[in-house]
């Protein structure tokens, strides 16, 4: 009898250890947890990834290398004195045109979709050389020409005073003229193209949006910042990339996260201590400062970038903006894109692979499906067979899921099982 009781007790212990229940007593199982290797073995895998990254890093190609500099255009970082000189030269030429009786007009590089080109060798979208005239004498363009002139005047003031303002500040200098901030923002991009400089060179910045946490030290305007000591909120990414310097890290990779909720989970669990990494998010749509900061980390620290986005067409769109650039700012893609970002998750194939419950999956809307099909026609998607396969599966099943769907297995399933297993299996595209 005593022996039977011992056997029963042993069986109960075995069954409870097999259940992989959450540490908080939740009875939900945590699938695939037992497949995890010890952290030391996963770290060895990651060190191999970093070594391969360093050996494979080659010279970054430019438009000139591909003999495209005459048919495509790109802007460059310019000092304030050069921006000021460029504006003064432009206004002087317009004055000569007015005095000679020809009126004046701006030659504005077209940023329409038809004037965009994806270059596979560069793996980014660039702007072709088509331009259009914006004359002051035309009823259809007089207002936009006036806005362009006003923006040039404001930028000249900034360059002479050597100060920065936000896009919102710029809008409020002349609300009656601009009417809506989207109009002043659009013309600001036009001015960058006209002057041939990056938007950062104009000293106009967006409000702080992105945050970073983890194994990173950098100087912000002379102050050293340790991103392991920023709490779960992390350090706001400086809107002016010129303030950032002296980056140091012992991380093995950079984890790019789409959503703030997933970022907070990883930051609170201090995922970056278990697997040395830098975690960064723009909390949705990528802003210029976060894109510049990510590229700077990648190029200076020589670390691989792994992306965690929602399993829907918009998650992949966000990933493509970081990697290939946006059509709206294709003129500055050389400075804003981060090459060779790996798609870690959440991928459409993960929904079945990780047994995501049906109640955590969402049906795709007609607009979602259309967006997915449109993306399948994009050259930057066609270049990667893995992306085509995953996106085709998404459109076929008509299902999508957010990163938070993994919380159905426990709030810490993302940091304790899903991501470690992904890293262990080198499961990225």
Active-site residue flag, 136: no
* Cα–Cα distances in angstroms (integers) from residue 21 to residues 13, 25, 29, 271, 340, in the given order: 13, 7, 5, 20, 37
* 386-392 CB contacts, 8 Å cutoff, 24+ apart: 386/343, 386/429, 387/316, 387/343, 387/429, 389/349, 390/343, 390/347, 390/348, 390/349, 390/429, 391/313, 391/316, 391/348
Which position among 118, 172, 322, 331 bears the catalytic label? Answer: 172
CA distance 216 to 279: 9
Helices (H) and strands (E) in the chain, counts: 18, 18
- The neighbour count for residue 32, using CB atoms within 10 Å, is 17
**Residue length, the chain?**
429
Among 105, 64, 126, CA closest to 194: 105
Residue 129 marked as a ligand binder: no
Q: Retrieve residue 160's tokens.
A: 């002479």
Q: Retrieve residue 149's tokens.
A: 């002139």
Residue 258 marked as a ligand binder: yes
Q: What is the CA radius of gyration of the chain?
A: 25
Name the phi and psi angles at 256, rounded to 5: -95, 120
Q: What is the DSSP string of 393-411?
A: HHHHHTEEB-GGGGGGG-T
CA distance 116 to 79: 27
- The neighbour count for residue 42, using CB atoms within 10 Å, is 22
Cite the annotated binding site for Mg(2+) by residue number. 258, 310
| Catalytically active residues, by annotation | 172
Binding site feature residues: 258, 310
């Amino acid at each position: 009898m005593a022996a039977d009781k011992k056997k029963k007790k042993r069986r109960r212990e075995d069954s409870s250890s097999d259940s992989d229940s959450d540490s908080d007593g939740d009875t939900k199982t945590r699938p695939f947890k037992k497949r995890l290797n010890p952290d030391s073995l996963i770290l060895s895998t990651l060190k191999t990834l970093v070594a391969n990254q360093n050996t494979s890093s080659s010279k970054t190609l430019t438009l000139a290398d591909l003999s495209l500099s005459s048919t495509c255009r790109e802007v460059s970082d310019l000092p304030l004195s050069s921006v000021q000189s460029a504006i003064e030269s432009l206004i002087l030429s317009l004055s000569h045109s007015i005095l000679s009786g020809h009126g004046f007009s701006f030659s504005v590089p077209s940023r329409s979709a038809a004037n965009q080109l994806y270059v596979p060798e560069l793996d980014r979208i660039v702007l072709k050389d088509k331009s259009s005239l914006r004359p002051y004498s035309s009823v259809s363009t007089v207002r936009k020409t006036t806005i362009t002139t006003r923006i040039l005047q404001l930028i000249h003031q900034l360059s002479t005073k050597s100060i920065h303002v936000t896009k919102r500040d710029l809008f409020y200098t002349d609300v009656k003229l601009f009417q809506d901030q989207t109009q002043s923002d659009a013309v600001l991009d036009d001015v960058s193209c006209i002057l041939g400089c990056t938007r950062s060179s104009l000293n106009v910045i967006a409000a702080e949006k992105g945050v970073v946490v983890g194994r990173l030290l950098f100087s912000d305007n002379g102050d050293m910042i340790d991103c392991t000591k920023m709490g779960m909120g992390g350090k706001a990414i400086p809107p002016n990339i010129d303030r950032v310097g002296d980056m140091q890290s012992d991380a093995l990779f950079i984890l790019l996260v789409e959503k703030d909720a997933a970022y907070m989970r990883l930051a609170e669990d201090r995922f970056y201590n278990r697997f040395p990494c830098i975690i960064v998010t723009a909390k949705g749509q990528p802003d210029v400062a976060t894109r510049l900061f990510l590229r700077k980390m990648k190029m200076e620290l020589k670390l691989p970038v792994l992306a965690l986005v929602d399993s829907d067409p918009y998650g992949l769109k966000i990933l493509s903006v970081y990697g290939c650039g946006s059509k709206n700012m294709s003129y500055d893609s050389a400075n804003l894109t981060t090459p060779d970002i790996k798609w870690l998750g959440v991928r459409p194939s993960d929904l079945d692979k990780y047994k995501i419950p049906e109640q955590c999956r969402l049906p795709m809307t007609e607009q979602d499906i259309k967006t997915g099909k449109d993306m399948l026609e994009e050259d930057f998607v066609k270049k990667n067979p893995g992306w085509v396969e995953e996106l085709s599966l998404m459109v076929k099943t008509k299902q999508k899921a957010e990163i938070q769907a993994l919380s159905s297995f426990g709030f810490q399933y993302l940091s304790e099982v899903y991501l470690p297993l992904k890293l262990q299996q080198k499961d990225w595209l």
